[in-house]
Amino acid sequence: MGKSSEELDQTLKGDGRQPDVAHDISPFMAPPRGSPALRSAPSSIAGVSRPLLPPSMPPARARAPVVVLTGTPGTGKTTHAQLLQQASPVPLQHINVGDWVKDKGLYQDYDDEWQSYTVDEDKLLDELEPLAAAGGIILDWHTSDIFPERWPDLVVVLRCDHSKLWDRLEKRGYPLKKIQENNEAEIMEVVLDEVRSSYPPEIVVELQSETTDDLEANVARIVQWIEAWREDHDTSDQ
């Protein structure tokens, strides 16, 4: 069933990576690309804001869902994606979109000052379109509002207390300016705002990602959602 705390610890310790240019593809550091107006803050972010429900009228198109895992850099998207991939009852391809952009050259240029790539959104969407249509993917990125509304079956926004987030980003060796930008973005709920203005509320869920318990509970919950999605889609005879 769930992972032992030892295994979870191992997953978490395993991060230890150095700052990677792929993780510099940050909407918070790049020159503004239509960043959303900061609307009034949603209510409490403590815990889950709404029940995680399967879609009621699913399109019969895929054997497995498209799950978007988003959140400010450092909130735990990749860690969740890796564990979800292992725990999922259906095969899911984990796409770290930042890495894709870098590896496949899906960018226009690199901004030295902001240490950030300017993503070529058209190229990126063209690359991802067939995968999204086939289903069975986890899209792991801090920018989620460029994905067409029809793509995701579930959008998970990970949240983290800003002081914890600061520590995580500091451990990565991010420059102070970049830590501040991302920290402020988390406080101002920039990603959550983007998601809320891009996708229907019934497919959006906000989850805390501060502890290993959160991590384990979140993954278990998404797995449950996938089970429900499968039943809804009756994938048994495909």
Ligand X SMILES: Nc1ncnc2c1ncn2[C@@H]1O[C@H](COP(=O)(O)OP(=O)(O)OP(=O)(O)O)[C@@H](O)[C@H]1O
Is there binding between residue 168 and ligand X (CB under 6 A)?
yes
212 is in an annotated binding site: no
Query: 206 with 48: CB under 8 angstroms?
Result: yes
Q: Which is nearer to ligand X, 74 or 152 (CB)?
A: 74
Is there binding between residue 48 and ligand X (CB under 6 A)?
no
Distance CA 5, CA 162 (A): 24
Contact region for ligand X (CB under 6 A) — 100-108, 116-124, 191-199, 209-217?
A: 209-217
Is there binding between residue 54 and ligand X (CB under 6 A)?
no
Contact region for ligand X (CB under 6 A) — 36-44, 184-192, 206-214, 226-234?
A: 206-214
172 is in an annotated binding site: yes
50 is in an annotated binding site: no
Contact region for ligand X (CB under 6 A) — 35-43, 71-79, 100-108, 120-128?
A: 71-79
70 is in an annotated binding site: no
Selected binder of ligand X within 27, 55, 74, 135 (CB under 6 A):
74
CA distance readout (Å), 18 to 38, 78, 95, 166: 32, 15, 20, 16
Please enumerate in sequence order all residues whose Cβ is within 8 A of that of 130, keeping only pairs 6 or more positions apart, or say none.
none
Sequence-distant contacts of 132-135: CB under 8 A, at least 24 apart: 132/66, 133/61, 133/62, 134/62, 135/61, 135/62, 135/63, 135/64, 135/65, 135/66
Is there binding between residue 65 and ligand X (CB under 6 A)?
no
Is there binding between residue 73 and ligand X (CB under 6 A)?
yes
13 is in an annotated binding site: no
Is there binding between residue 231 and ligand X (CB under 6 A)?
no
Is there binding between residue 144 and ligand X (CB under 6 A)?
no
Q: Is 70 left (phi over 0), alpha (psi -120 to 50) or beta?
A: beta
Please enumerate in sequence order all residues whose Cβ is within 8 A of that of 76, keeping only pairs 6 or more positions apart, or say none.
158, 160, 209, 215
Residues 124-143 that bind ligand X (CB under 6 A): 142
Distance CA 191, CA 170 (A): 20
Which residues lie near ligand X (CB under 6 A)?
12, 15, 23, 71, 73-79, 142, 168, 209-212, 214-215
Binding-site residues? 74, 76-79, 172
